Structure 1
Amino acid sequence: MKRHMLVIVMLLIGMGTWYYIAGAAPTIKKVPTPSFTGQYPGLHLTVESEQAKRYTTSISVPRTDYEMLNEELDAFILEKKEAFQHNLTPSHGQTGHLNIQTDTYQTNQTEYTLVVHTYAFTGGANGQTTVDVFRMNLSDGTFVEWDDVLRDDQHALEWFKHSVITQLQHQEYVFEDQLREAIKHPKSTKWILTSSGLDVIFDEYEVAAGAAGVVEVHIPMKEVEPFLLSELDTPTAQEDSPIMSPSNKPLEPNGKYVALTFDDGPHPIVTPHILETLEKYQARATFFMLGSQMEFYPDVARQVALSGHELANHTEHHPDLTQLSEKGVKEELEQVDERIERLTGQRPSLVRPPYGAKNEMIEQIIQTKEQTLALWTVDSLDWSHRNADQMYRLIMDNVHPSAVVLMHDIHESTAEGLPKVLDALKREGYTFVTMSELLTLK
């Protein structure tokens, strides 16, 4: 019974913090671009999110070492943000949401395709999703065009049109006249070359009724090969053996415990610094990870697990889950569950929705997955003030036995202020435990 009461209290207090934040002035948190070689050499992930009274945003777009490519990405993001702000007219009780998420495909050692999905809910009944494609060569900082990788003769162009029409001609909701217009100029379509073939993406309403959503076509590699200018040399990913996570230790019912939690990582610079501090104080913590960050920095995520900390689910792309369909929510959570299971050998037991935003459907999905919806009782607001001293004061002024402290392992100020926080908590007699360990208290 006490365990259930603890969860309820944490949820209520956590949501109270969320509503306080949502009513505050807009605050932006931005991750500095690191000089770090992750899963994709030459690419770095920059995360920016914003919380305001009328809207929330989350933008996750890779950065490169080339200014020209970055300027193009910056201009694209600015255009999306300005359009969102211009069209923002949420009704009473609604919250606008802009989410820009990126899927990365590696064609060869230096060429990547970034598929950027933009979801914008500005008010009304439904949001809208658009897709943009950026193909780039990181050996010289240029964008990759059709005739860099595919034949540019009439036969190749007609083959492309025929392949797309053949695949979609019997698909429900597709309008043939709109489809033919969309592929009139094949080189300007949204195409993606991968080791498995050629994918083509069409926006909502571009070639079909809105019920079809984003329309995708896949042309198998065996059909694409005759039209390639050269053979693909796609790197193969290596799978590491799972890391067995330490089991939860039984806690003394009368102990004085605090659970430190970190959201939005892993980060290639900040997370390792935080791990060093936690090791110094022999403190275990819980890291609520984004799947997109885990994809870019798998070695950092692995180090968190190797250090004996708990890995938990913070969604794949940091969306407001209340804006998604049931299928969308499940996909966001399932991707991270699978990533963590591959890394640790077991699925995470905790889920923390971005912004603390939840509804009955989200709660039911998490319960059905036999996981726990895990918020917080103490908010460091490190994402807002970016000040180590303010973080220290907020935590120490509000900490209490069995507290769950919210921080983010993507801000350098958090890593800078953490030693002072841990030192003070230790002096006050607190024992550092994971959130799952805290929930074992009866």
Structure 2
Amino acid sequence: MPKQISAARRTSMAGLLTAAALALGGCATYDVTAPADARADAPAAAVKAMDARLAAAREAKNGEGAGGKTGRTGGAEVDCRTAKCVALTFDAGPSEHTDRLLDILKREKVHATFFMLGAHHVDKRPAEVKRIDAEGHELANHTWSHRILTDIEPAAARREMSRVQDAVRRITGKTPKLMRPPQGRTDESVSAISKELGLAQVLWSVTAKDYATEDPALITKRVLEQTERDGIILLHDIYRGTVPAVPGILKELKRRGYTVVTVSQLLAPAKPQPGMVYRP
């Protein structure tokens, strides 16, 4: 029997499936939900637990005054049910630009989700992977070699995802819970493999197409034009023009009242469900 889903989720699914059919030239079927729907459908126990963490965080902050601690991944101090949140994500690193990006994020007290590539990135830059984790950012999977998962056999798709899982776990002791399929291309088979591996799939609503320009001003303009509440911003920490754009993006987002969060913070009190596709 098909799984029951909310009306809001069915609407979101219909929109995504239409987009997928247009992009792929065929029909793709898989579960999909938007961040707001995920939060609304969170189990009562998860809601209660988050409310308790928020209350404890407020109490601790009041006790610490202006020197209170900032939120970390999964952050109890951020409540996107009430805050105007947007998730910041970076694909395809780490690279020679990642340390500079991490310096900026640390200075701005912002946490992001890093969808990392395995070959020539995770395997070549374990120090950056460790730093991403140590500074409270979210570790996520972007496959081993950026092969289009819908174009390869299921066994090959499983290797593309599982090799990153294994490599990140060896480096940090943690296993990613999120995966972004290359080019956003997924289907029922990819979703089933993701579910087996404990990976939720995360697409996006904002893209600067920073792979096609090195102009930080243009990257900034594109991001700000597209960003709305509950959005997921896609950038890459491998291109020369991207990291210089980040300070301006963050400054303007904050001026507009946005709280910049990780993907898991955006979904909380819900937890990412393996196999599910999340997209605003």
- TM-score (norm: length of structure 1): 0.45
Amino acid aligned to 2:85: Y
- CA contact 1:267–1:410 (8 Å) conserved in 2: yes
- CA root-mean-square deviation: 2.8
Alignment match, 1:311: 139
2:247 match = 419
Answering whether residue 209 of structure 2 is matched by residue 391 of structure 1, we say no
Structure-1 residue corresponding to 2:169 = 341
- Where 2:238 maps in the other structure, the secondary structure is coil
Tell me, in whole angstroms, the C-alpha distance in 1 between the residues paired with 2:168 and 2:230: 26
8 Å contact 1:265–1:287 — kept in the other structure? Answer: yes
Which of 88, 110, 114 in structure 2 is aligned with 1:260? Answer: 88
Q: Which residue of 2 aligns with 1:165?
A: none
Do structure 1's residue 12 and structure 2's residue 16 form an aligned pair? Answer: yes
| CA–CA distance in structure 2, aligned partners of residues 284 and 382 of structure 1 | 20
Bigger Rg, structure 1 or 2: 1
Give the corresponding residue for 2:104.
Answer: 277
Matched residue pairs, number?
216
Match of residue 300 from structure 1:
128
Q: CA deviation at 1:360?
A: 1.2
Find the counterpart in structure 2 of residue 249 from structure 1.
75
Distance 2:103 2:122 in 1: 19
Cα distance in structure 1, aligned partners of 2:103 and 2:17: 30
Contact 2:208 2:235 in 1 (8 A): yes
Cα contact 1:258–1:402 (8 A) shared by 2: yes
Tell me by how many angstroms 1:261 deviates.
0.4
Instruction: Show CA shifts across 1:277-320 (max 9, x none).
Output: 11111000000000111111111222211221111000011101
Q: Which residue of the other structure, out of 288, 291, 295, is the alignment partner of 2:118?
A: 291
Equivalence map 1:313-328=2 (5 Å)? 313-328=141-156
How far is 1:441 from its partner?
4.6
Cα pair 1:14 1:375 within 8 Å, conserved: no
**Cα distance change on mapping 1:283 and 1:6 into 2, 3 Å:** farther
Higher-helix-fraction structure = 2
Structure with the larger RCO, 1 or 2 (CA within 8 Å, 6+ apart): 2
Name the structure 2 match of 1:159: none
Deviation at 1:386, TM superposition (A): 2.4
Match of 2:233, SS? strand
1:72-122 per-residue CA deviation (whole Å, 9 max, x = no partner) reads: xxxxxxxxxxxxxxxxxxxx87xxxxxxxxxxxxxxxxxxxxxxxxxxxxx
Q: 1:7, 1:374 within 8 Å by CA — same for their partners in 2? A: no
Residue in 1 aligned with 2:37?
A: none
Tell me what 2:50 maps to: none
Take 2:18 and 2:115, find their aligned partners in 1: how far apart are those partners? Answer: 15
**Aligned-pair CA distance for 1:398:** 0.9
One-letter code aligned to 1:323: D
Tell me how far apart the structure 1 counterparts of residues 192 and 129 of structure 2 sit (CA, whole Å). 28
Q: Please tell me the residue identity of whatever aligns with 2:256.
A: E
TM-score (norm 2): 0.70
Q: Tell me which amino acid in the other structure corresponds to 1:255.
A: A
Residues 321 and 354 in structure 1, CA contact (< 8 A), matched pair in contact too: yes
Among 267, 270, 275, the residue aligned to 1:439: 267
Paired residue secondary structure (2:123): helix
Matches within 5 A, 1:50-69: none
User: What amino acid is aligned across from residue 193 of structure 2 in structure 1?
Assistant: I
In the TM superposition, what is the alpha-carbon distance from 1:402 to its structure 2 partner? 1.1
The 2-side partners of 1:280 and 1:332 are apart by 34
Q: Give the partner amino acid of 1:294.
A: V
**SS in structure 2 at match of 1:355:** helix
Supply the AA of the counterpart residue of 1:282: K
Structure in which a larger fraction of residues adopt strand: 1
> 1:362 and 2:190 equivalent?
yes
Take 1:14 and 1:248, find their aligned partners in 2: how far apart are those partners? 31
- Equivalent position to 1:428, from 240, 256, 267: 256
Q: Is the 8 A contact 2:213 2:241 kept in 1?
A: no
Q: Secondary structure at the match of 1:383?
A: coil
